[in-house]
Amino acid sequence: MTRLSAAFSKGRPALVTFVTGGDPTPDATPAILDALVEGGADVIELGMPFTDPMADGPAIQAANLRALAAGTSTADIFRIATAFRARHPDVPLVLMGYASPMVTRGAQWFADECAKAGIDGVICVDIPPEEDAELGPFLRAARISLIRLATPTTDAARLPAVLEGSSGFLYYVSVAGITGMQQAGLASIEAAVAKLKAASDIPVAVGFGVRTPEQAGPIAKVADGVVVGSALIDLVARHGTDAAGPVRELTRALSHAVHESRKADA
């Protein structure tokens, strides 16, 4: 069983957390990642900073720019990932970002580096199934999950193409929009997740606009996982190199809400 499938096979929903690598500095990121693990996150998404994060809202845009201003390079991201893998042999680590930094030295190079660093999966925001050849075959050959996004605009006709060649989990973007803004209605999330689950066995994690334990809990009842990013990034923005403590606290509250969500009814 891969680390990712183990994370979604614990008999309870999974908490997936996102922070941008190198924010506020490359040296500060390891402690923030540790805080996510200590707080109970089941999957860690590490953002690769990019100059032009066009699918992201103001919070993650600013995080990308802070990371780049601190001199964060792709080599730093892989160094952070390699060290994380050494400290946390069992916690799945996913790289999330944009195509340009991923393919700029060639997709083979990127897949090799991911494999060496112990990366479990990759989410590339701007490579849809139509352009899969750019990156997908290289990741699959290196046994790294390509995690695709499904959105409210992904209709039944497209869904098979989205699922084809994807693994690990499916990231359901619950609102048509950018990260960190409004939250979708629970009923629409439940209906969308049901459709996705009917089409595939792959776990479905729901994200975009989920900020608090109160929001995360109800979503966890209907999905296999909940993704939280911007709310954690806001803490990094506020506390800078001292962010690990506040990040651990919020993650703990989120993981409690997500992990216990289905017990509340029992």
Partner 1 sequence: MSTNPNSFRNQPDERGHFGAYGGRYVAETLMPLILELEREYRAAKADPAFEAEFDDLLEHYVGRPSPLYFAPRLTEELGGAQVWFKRDELNHTGAHKINNCIGQILLAMRMGKTRIIAETGAGQHGVATATVCARFGLPCTVYMGATDVARQGPNVFRMKLLGAEVVPVTAGAATLKDAMNEALRDWVANVHDTFYIIGTAAGPHPYPELVRDFQSVIGREAREQMLSRTGRLPDLLVAAIGGGSNAIGLFHPFLDDSSVKMLGVEAAGHGLDKEHAASLAGGRPGILHGNKTYLLQDDDGQILEGHSISAGLDYPGIGPEHAWLKESGRVEYTSATDREALEGFQLLCRTEGIIPALEPSHAIAAVTKVAPTMDKDQIIIANLCGRGDKDIFSVAEHLGVKL
Q: Which residues are catalytic?
A: 45, 56
198 is a contact residue toward partner 1 (CB under 8 A): no
9 is a contact residue toward partner 1 (CB under 8 A): no
Q: Which of 14, 149, 231, 257 binds partner 1 (CB under 8 A)?
A: 149
Q: Which of 154, 215, 251, 261 binds partner 1 (CB under 8 A)?
A: 154
Measured from the CB atom, is 176 or 194 closer to partner 1? 176
Measured from the CB atom, is 129 or 246 closer to partner 1? 129
Rg (CA), the chain: 17
In the window 226-245, what residues touch partner 1 (CB under 8 A)? none
70 is a contact residue toward partner 1 (CB under 8 A): no
Burial 138-162 (b: 16+ CB within 10 A, else e): bbbebebbbbbbbbbebeeeebeeb
Rounded CA-CA distance 194/228 in Å is: 21
Measured from the CB atom, is 37 or 63 closer to partner 1? 63
CB 195 within 8 A of CB 163: no
CB 143 within 8 A of CB 166: no
Rounded CA-CA distance 142/38 in Å is: 29
Site string for partner 1, 23-52 (x = CB under 8 A): ---------------------------xxx
Q: How many residues bind partner 1 (CB under 8 A)?
A: 44
In 3-state terms, what secondary structure has residue 37? helix
Contacts of 225 (CB under 8 A, 6+ apart): 8, 13, 14, 15, 16, 42, 43, 169, 203, 204, 205, 206, 258
In this chain, which stretch among 36-44, 138-146, 169-177, 242-250 interacts with partner 1, using CB under 8 A?
A: 169-177
Rounded CA-CA distance 234/108 in Å is: 34
Q: Which of 31, 65, 83, 115 binds partner 1 (CB under 8 A)?
A: 65
128 is a contact residue toward partner 1 (CB under 8 A): yes
* Interface residues toward partner 1, by CB under 8 A: 50-57, 61, 65, 68, 73-74, 98-105, 125-128, 130-131, 134, 148-155, 158, 162, 173, 175-178, 181
